[in-house]
Amino acid sequence: MAGQAAAQATASPFVDIADVALTYGGAAAKGGGTLALEHCTLGVGKGEFVAVVGPSGCGKSTLLKLVSGLHPPSAGRVAVDGEAVTRPLKIVGMAFQNPIMLPWRTTLANVLLPLEIVEPHRSRFRRERAAYAERARRLLATVNLAGFEERFPWQLSGGMQQRASLCRALIHEPELLLLDEPFAALDAFTREELWDVLQALWLERRFTCVLVTHDLREAVYLADRVVVISNRPGRVVMEQAVGLPRPRRLANAWDRDFVDLVHVLRDKISEVRQAA
């Protein structure tokens, strides 16, 4: 399965990052600004789950901004689904370390927010509110939040808020899900619980997913392929396929082949950090 996705990636990657550079705060030519990424090339196949790991400050989050079209590259080309990304994409769902739910809306209304904004749902929203609410309820139920729809986000635990945040990222059925360390602020048990929630959602819907994380076990547990980024300026220094069968189980997360993969990644990152 992972092999198939990789084959697709070589043919015509769904997300195609080609020799991209990004400088924050002014052009590099003028000597100012921070070079976040340089000569960065990465392809993600349709329906593939890719995890991006690397030392902190290496430009992992920047990569997501490029893919989503929130930030244009300083050099190189970013394309999604065959088209160059020149403005924010609308087929994208995003979730961050901070769930940033709106405290004046109930959990259900928070999950519905994207539908009030993105077309074609936007123009239908008023008429079909009941149907959309039902859809949001079903999605909340799949992440075990049934019964919490009318609660306010601040009445939920951190893990529950993050689950609701995932629902908000997925409610408009995006083809591409971008996750920026979504579980980093959670305790270890909740985090592992949410790995399974995310895996189940992905197995059911098969969206393309790019997960930025600094948790190597999380990367191996969830991804088809793990990409290691170097120290700033970031560039891809290693791509490691994860051939473990799915659905993966927490019980297997201490098996030999799983742990070996984590060690390979860990060694590479240590090497990259030394180089700095």
Partner 1 sequence: MGTFWRFLRSPAFAPWLITAGLLLVWEAYCRLLDVSPFVLPAPTTIAHSMVRFWPAIWINAEQTLFTTVAGFALAVGFGLALGVAIGASPWLYQALYPLLIGFNAIPKVALVPVLIVWVGIGTIPAIITAFSISFFPIVVNVATGVATVEPELRDVLRSLGARQRDILVKVAIPRSLPYFFASLKIAITLAFVGSVISETVAANRGIGYLMVKDAGENVPRMFAALILVAVLAVVMYGVAALVERRFTHWATRGVDQAGGTTGF
Q: Which residues bind partner 1 (CB under 8 A)?
A: 65, 68-70, 88-90, 92, 94, 96, 98, 100, 102-104, 113-114, 116-119, 152, 154, 168-169, 172
Q: Quote the least distance from Cβ 98 to partner 1, whole Å.
A: 6
In the complex with partner 1, the residue whose CB is nearer, 35 or 113, is 113
Sign, CA torsion 36/20/237/254: positive
In the complex with partner 1, the residue whose CB is nearer, 3 or 103, is 103
Residues present in the chain in total? 276
Q: Are 202 and 49 in contact (CB under 8 A)?
A: yes
Maximum separation of any 2 CA atoms in the chain, in Å: 58
Q: Quote the least distance from Cβ 75 to partner 1, whole Å.
A: 22
Q: Quote the least distance from Cβ 15 to partner 1, whole Å.
A: 14
**Gap between the terminal Cα atoms of the chain:** 36
In the complex with partner 1, the residue whose CB is nearer, 7 or 102, is 102
Q: Quote the least distance from Cβ 173 to partner 1, whole Å.
A: 12
Q: How far apart are CA 57 and CA 48, in angstroms?
A: 25
Q: How far apart are CA 254 and CA 259, in angstroms?
A: 6
Q: Are 192 and 248 in contact (CB under 8 A)?
A: no
In the complex with partner 1, the residue whose CB is nearer, 121 or 235, is 121
